[in-house]
Amino acid sequence: MIDSLKDYQDVSFEQGRSLWQDAWYRLNKNKLAMLGLYLIIFFVVISILTPWIGPYAYETQNLALGASAPSAQHWLGTDIHGRDLMTRLMYGGRISLMVGFAATAVSLVIGVLWGTIAGYVGGLTDTIMMRIVDILYALPFMIFIILLMVVFGRSLLLLFLAIGLIEWLTMARIVRTQVLSVRKQEFVSAAIVTGLSHWQIIRRHVIPNILGPVIVYITLTIPSVMLLEAFLSFLGLGIQPPQSSWGVLISGGVETMEEYPWLLIFPGLALSLTLFALNFLGDGLRDALDPRATRD
Amino acid sequence: MSLLSVNNLAIDFTTRDGTVNAVSDISFTVDKGETLGIVGESGSGKSVSCYSLLGLIPMPPGHIKNGSALFDGIDLLRANEKTMRQIRGKRISMIFQDPMTSLNPYMRVGQQIIEPLLQHNKITQQAAKEKAIALLEEVGISDAANRYQQYPHEFSGGMRQRVVIAMALITEPDLLIADEPTTALDVTIQAQILELIHQLQQRRNIAVIFISHDLDVIKRMADRTIVMEKGFIVEQGNTQDIFYSPTQSYTKKLIASIPSCAKPENYRFTGDKDSRFLELNDISISYGNKNNAFKAVDNVSLTVKQGEILGLVGESGCGKTSLSHSIVRLVDIQQGQICLQQNPLETLQGSALKATRKDIQMIFQDPYASLNPRMTVFNTLAEPLRLHGIASDANELNSKVLSLMQDVGLEASWANKYPHEFSGGQRQRIAIARALAVEPQLIIADEPVSALDVTIQAQILSLLLELCQQRQLTMIFISHDLAVVRYIADRTAVMNQGKIVEINDTETVYQNPSDPYTKSLLAARV
Amino acid sequence: MMRFFVGRLLQSIPVIFIVITATFFLVRAAPGGPFDAEKTLSPEVIERLNERYNLDAPMYEQYFDYLGHLVQGDFGPSFRYTNRTVTEIIYAGLPITFELAIYAIMIALVIGILAGMLAAIKPNSAQDYIPMSLAMTGICMPSFLLGPLLVLVFGIWLQWLPVSGWGYSPGDKILPAITLGSTYAAYIARLTRGGMLEILSQDYIRTAKAKGLSTASIIFRHALRGGLSPVVAFLGPAIAGLLAGSFVVETIFQIPGLGRFYVQAAFNRDYTMILGTTILLSCLIVLLNMLSDLLAVWLNPRLALSNEKN
């Protein structure tokens, strides 16, 4: 605490600083979280730039080559059709990350809105809204997704819409619980007495105080969505070949793991690295957004 | 020979900021059957030193640097865990501050009471139960056989503390350590519990270490008293000597901080005696649904004069907080009318309500909960200024915030700090500054000093008096603490079970109470 | 307590009804019919089949017809396995899926709670970091990756355990159960750690210590009950997820459980089979959630009180 105070005092007082500036300042001190952040940024940038920087065209086959181990031409080797694994991994990452982020964004928007309204308004509104969540919870969604994918074909849009529509339920519950506990705090009463509108209170006092758990949950949702996509691909219901995702690559790699282990190791590594990075970033962000956190 | 003799005890805590000397070189003794009082403010080391005797300090970060504590020939600071387990709960028992949290909510109270007995003595479940029920009756719990089967949440605060006392005494220990055992309780309950502890001690001839921040409680309970400050013992001796002829300046300051007198003459109300600044007419507030309604405030009428400080006194659950919240529109009233300078408040909506909010501000009880932990002091104070358009540009905003901070005694360089970096008293200053930011006419202060140490309490009270006079504020001051209200209020209203049972000039209420409830409240004072 | 139970039962009726209706119309809205896969059939044969299974009737008629049979406990005939009814197939497959799920949840509970407790007793030590990193890996490892890996290591390299089957050779149930349970073990470990840490910081734990209780008594008598409440809340959804997720494991290990039939049915447009298994799973999920809530109430006396008041 003293350390950080010293830093504050070096900056002579000019004007108020926002929570975000402070959070960024604290996040910068958390090495693991920053490593996670850089890794995620790296993956995202690579995915965006893949069409321009990919060493090979996506579908280029070299059947003569077949499955070959990593070499100078093909850094990560080739698959049984002789396609460059690194290229496929980069394209697969595009899909996996897109599904992960987009579906999580869908669940985040719906979940936070729903949970905040239910928790903040309370009373009958809360009861009805949460009953709806309870009912939806009881639906076998996994089964519905499988059904949807079978029935309406494997569209990427449908996929992350469907996944997003399941994941928001838990988000709404978490947000509501947090909002309920923040709402009872005296500083919210103080804000009402000051004369802030409900919307201002939600934005300035409630949301900043529920961000921690929400961010942690986001970093848990992105991986679980990516796994869900992989799982559907495993069942043959996810991305259609010749497109691929990390999930498709892993399940393909599983089949040939005895003969060509690199086809499993590299996709598995890419997925695991992303998941770990997200976790460290999530924990780091939670601490950074809490001025009381004791960790540096 | 003393039962317990502590010699040169020193305890460190390792924190991020370095090493903190929580307890520095203290020595004291406790004899059989006597009560030793330890008094001090928060952070004085009074609890830490006693917890260390039972090995209840988490280590790390705690570390016993030096000293010994001989109890019946055993050095409690160096005994192994097995020996300690045979002493804890068997020969030395503890009563903790908050009976709401010190009992396991998942376990029946009976099981919890006999647990130390089963742990330490060879006794059957049945025999233990009989003993426990007898003890429950002795500590004043009626229908003990049935109560034995209940869970803690089925007991009131006072009853729970009786259960905790029974639990501590069931093994007939030689020494009882009571850490703020009545702090969380109402005055009348506090008086009963103190009496109970006193009687049980007399009957069993056990030694008691009584820890409290409350000088009055210590004065009543202790044979000898230790005064602690910042980990040191500043003074120890017979309780009478400590209180009537203290030798150390800190002890004197502490005793002087107890608000034991009437309101200072120069701060008293001098305004218009017939003014009707704030009027409450037949206010009722109830909670719950129609079938199961609980009437928190029951037909209360009240008039507050412009420029006066009205004290509102009552025990927990009497409705004083509901009443105050209705004035700032945090709860709705079901019946009646609230008028500020003849303008009804209870029906205001939208911008009219927002405009009125500027005139009425509130200071909350808990300075730890009433400040947004994720907002710097600057932002906390700037928010109302921006909202009500009091500061037009960034420069004006800065200067207003800084002058507010100066007014309540906060340094300008602290503006970018977060609430958790401040002490309780400083936080309450921030909360006061926030209330003053919009230049209100009326301030509702709900237990503003209850969470603070006595010396800090005295500072905040004089700050409030000062500010009220300078800015000609009207204030409703709510407290359970009779002495505090007497010191600050011009008039005092006493509330009980949702009704105002007595209202009059403060000194009249205190010297010639007319209502039986007021009398019992005053009698319960320690 | 009884009222709470009955209330929940009544609440679940509309849920089940929504599931039935949604599934019914969803499968029928799909392009393709149950007999499309068999290209050898002439249009006349398909027509006769459609007539036989009432598939040429208007949609609403089929719907009410189905509901009518359903209330009598009849799931109808399978369109794919023409000589068997859906009830028969469920009867054969469900016990296997159930057995697998029970083993998996038992493994998950034992490993998860033990690891979580170890971590909570000494937070921020090796005793915390090692089980929690394992848990993290468990969460990140999908079952379709873990299953084959386990087969590779224990089945093919070490040859300790059979690589597939169910009930044919000793030990063939171990790998599927571990594969299915590992993710849940990981979640339970994290929940246990969180719950226990929360409880261990409570004042009444200090009271227990001041009574002279040993660390073991404090953990088992005072902390466990409260510390496990997040786990209990998670159990209902977890078992539901186990049942729904079992088909991956059943596919990997070639187990003749219900899950495999389900996925097959979806691909084959086997309407009655899809409906039957979906309804069954929904009922199980509703029931399990209810049991999990009841267990939570039973564990926490304060909840019992507030429910009686409602």
Nearest CA in chain B to A186: B370
- H-assigned helices in B299-453: 320-327, 350-357, 377-387, 394-407, 424-437
HSE at residue B267, side-chain half, CA atoms within 13 A, is 23
Instruction: Please give the DSSP secondary-structure letter assigned to residue B308.
Output: -
Residue A31 CA: distances (Å) to CA of B64, B455, C128, C137:
34, 43, 20, 21
A interface mutation test: which of C10, C15, C36, C140 has the most A CBs within 10 A?
Answer: C140
HSE at residue B132, side-chain half, CA atoms within 13 A, is 27
- Report the C-alpha gap between B465 and A105 in whole angstroms: 53
Q: Is B359 exposed, middle or buried (0-12, 13-18, 19+ CB in 10 A)?
A: middle
- Report the C-alpha gap between B102 and B17 in whole angstroms: 30
Nearest CA in chain C to A256: C148
The mean per-residue pLDDT over the stretch B356-370 comes to: 89
The verdict on B393 and B511 lying in the same domain is yes
The yes-or-no verdict on residue A294 having pLDDT over 60 is no
C-beta of residue B99 within 8 angstroms of C-beta of residue B184: yes
Q: Name all domains of chain C by residue range, CATH numbers in brackets.
A: 87-267 (1.10.3720.10)
The answer to whether A285 contacts chain C (CB < 8 Å) is no
In this prediction, residue B37 carries a pLDDT of 93
The radius of gyration of chain C's CA atoms, rounded to the nearest angstrom, is 24
Q: Is residue B166 part of a domain?
A: no
CB contact (8 A) between residue C212 and residue B89: yes
The yes-or-no verdict on residue C305 having pLDDT over 70 is no
Closest residue by Cα to residue A230 from A137, A106, A92, A108: A92
Residues of chain B numbered 297-326 and touching chain A (CB < 8 Å): 325
Strands (E), B59-129: 62-71, 74-75, 92-95
The yes-or-no verdict on residue B232 having pLDDT over 80 is yes
The verdict on B234 and B360 lying in the same domain is no
Instruction: Report chain C residues whose CB lies below 8 A from the CB of B94.
Output: 207, 210
Q: What is the 3-state secondary structure (H, E, C) of B167-203?
A: HHHCCCCCEEEEECCCCCCCHHHHHHHHHHHHHHHHH
Rounded to two decimals, the ipTM of the complex is: 0.77
- Report the C-alpha gap between C293 and C287 in whole angstroms: 10
- Report the C-alpha gap between A228 and C235 in whole angstroms: 20
CB contact (8 A) between residue B167 and residue C305: no
Sequence-ordered list of residues with C-beta below 8 angstroms from that of B37, at least 6 positions apart, any chain: B210, B211, B212, B218, B221, B222, B223, B224, B225, B226, B239
Q: Strand, helix or coil at A58? A: coil
C-beta of residue C210 within 8 angstroms of C-beta of residue B164: no
In this prediction, residue A5 carries a pLDDT of 33
- B449 Ramachandran zone, left/alpha/beta (phi>0; psi -120 to 50): alpha
CB atoms within 10 A of CB C64: 10
Closest residue by Cα to residue A25 from A41, A38, A13, A8: A8
The mean per-residue pLDDT over the stretch B300-320 comes to: 90
The answer to whether A195 contacts chain B (CB < 8 Å) is yes
The yes-or-no verdict on residue A293 having pLDDT over 60 is no
Q: Strand, helix or coil at B66? A: strand
In this prediction, residue A142 carries a pLDDT of 66
In this prediction, residue B317 carries a pLDDT of 81
Q: How far is CA B426 from the centre of its chain?
A: 17
Give the CATH number, domain containing residue B386.
3.40.50.300
CB contact (8 A) between residue B18 and residue A2: yes
Q: Is residue B382 part of a domain?
A: yes
The yes-or-no verdict on residue C185 having pLDDT over 80 is yes
Between these two residues, B340 and C84, which has the higher pLDDT value?
Answer: B340
The answer to whether A124 contacts chain B (CB < 8 Å) is no
CATH top class, domain A22-56+76-288: mainly alpha
The yes-or-no verdict on residue A63 having pLDDT over 70 is no
In this prediction, residue A139 carries a pLDDT of 66
CA distance A68 to chain C (A): 21
The yes-or-no verdict on residue B207 having pLDDT over 60 is yes
Q: Is B419 exposed, middle or buried (0-12, 13-18, 19+ CB in 10 A)?
A: buried
CB contact (8 A) between residue B86 and residue C212: yes
Instruction: Report chain C residues whose CB lies below 8 A from the CB of B120.
Output: 212
CA distance A167 to chain B (A): 28
Instruction: Report chain A residues whose CB lies below 8 A from the CB of C248.
Output: 231, 234-235
The mean per-residue pLDDT over the stretch B343-355 comes to: 87
Token representation of residue A129: 């809204």
Sequence-ordered list of residues with C-beta below 8 angstroms from that of B110, at least 6 positions apart, any chain: B129, B132, B148, B149
The pLDDT tens digits for C135-151 are 877 776 777 778 888 88
Give the amino acid at B496.
Answer: N
Instruction: Report chain C residues whose CB lies below 8 A from the CB of A229.
Output: none
The answer to whether A137 contacts chain C (CB < 8 Å) is yes
The radius of gyration of chain B's CA atoms, rounded to the nearest angstrom, is 25
The yes-or-no verdict on residue A292 having pLDDT over 80 is no
CB contact (8 A) between residue A17 and residue B388: no
**CA distance between the termini of chain C:** 10
Q: Is residue B494 part of a domain?
A: yes
CB contact (8 A) between residue B16 and residue A291: no
Q: Is residue B122 part of a domain?
A: no
pTM for the whole structure = 0.77
Q: At C36, is the pLDDT very low, low, confident or very high (cuts 50, 70, 90)?
A: low
Dihedral angle, C-alpha A266, A268, A270, A274, nearest 10 °: -170
- Report the C-alpha gap between B106 and B210 in whole angstroms: 29
The mean per-residue pLDDT over the stretch A96-112 comes to: 88
- A68 Ramachandran zone, left/alpha/beta (phi>0; psi -120 to 50): beta
A interface mutation test: which of B416, B434, B441 has the most A CBs within 10 A?
Answer: B416
Q: What is the mean pLDDT of chain C?
A: 80
The answer to whether B121 contacts chain C (CB < 8 Å) is no
CA distance C148 to chain A (A): 7
The answer to whether A295 contacts chain B (CB < 8 Å) is no
Percent of chain C with pLDDT over 70: 92
The mean per-residue pLDDT over the stretch B1-17 comes to: 84
The verdict on B366 and B511 lying in the same domain is yes
Q: Is residue B59 part of a domain?
A: yes
- Report the C-alpha gap between B254 and B454 in whole angstroms: 7
Strands B294-304 and B309-313: unpaired
Strands (E), B115-158: none
Q: Where are the domains of chain A?
A: 22-56+76-288
The yes-or-no verdict on residue C308 having pLDDT over 50 is no
CB contact (8 A) between residue C245 and residue A142: yes
In this prediction, residue B517 carries a pLDDT of 92
- Report the C-alpha gap between B245 and B201 in whole angstroms: 27
List the domain range (segments joined by +) for residue B436. 309-316+350-523
Q: Is residue B467 part of a domain?
A: yes
Kindly list the residues of chain C whose beta carbon comes within 8 Å of any beta carbon in chain A: 11-12, 14-15, 18-19, 22-23, 26-27, 29-31, 136-137, 139-140, 142-145, 148-149, 152, 156, 237, 240-241, 244-245, 248, 262-263, 266-267, 274, 277-278, 281-282, 285-286, 289
> Domain count of chain B?
2
In this prediction, residue B178 carries a pLDDT of 92
- Beta-sheet strand order (sheet of B499-505): B360-363, B442-446, B474-479, B309-313, B491-496, B499-505
Nearest CA in chain A to C290: A138
CB atoms within 10 A of CB A88: 29
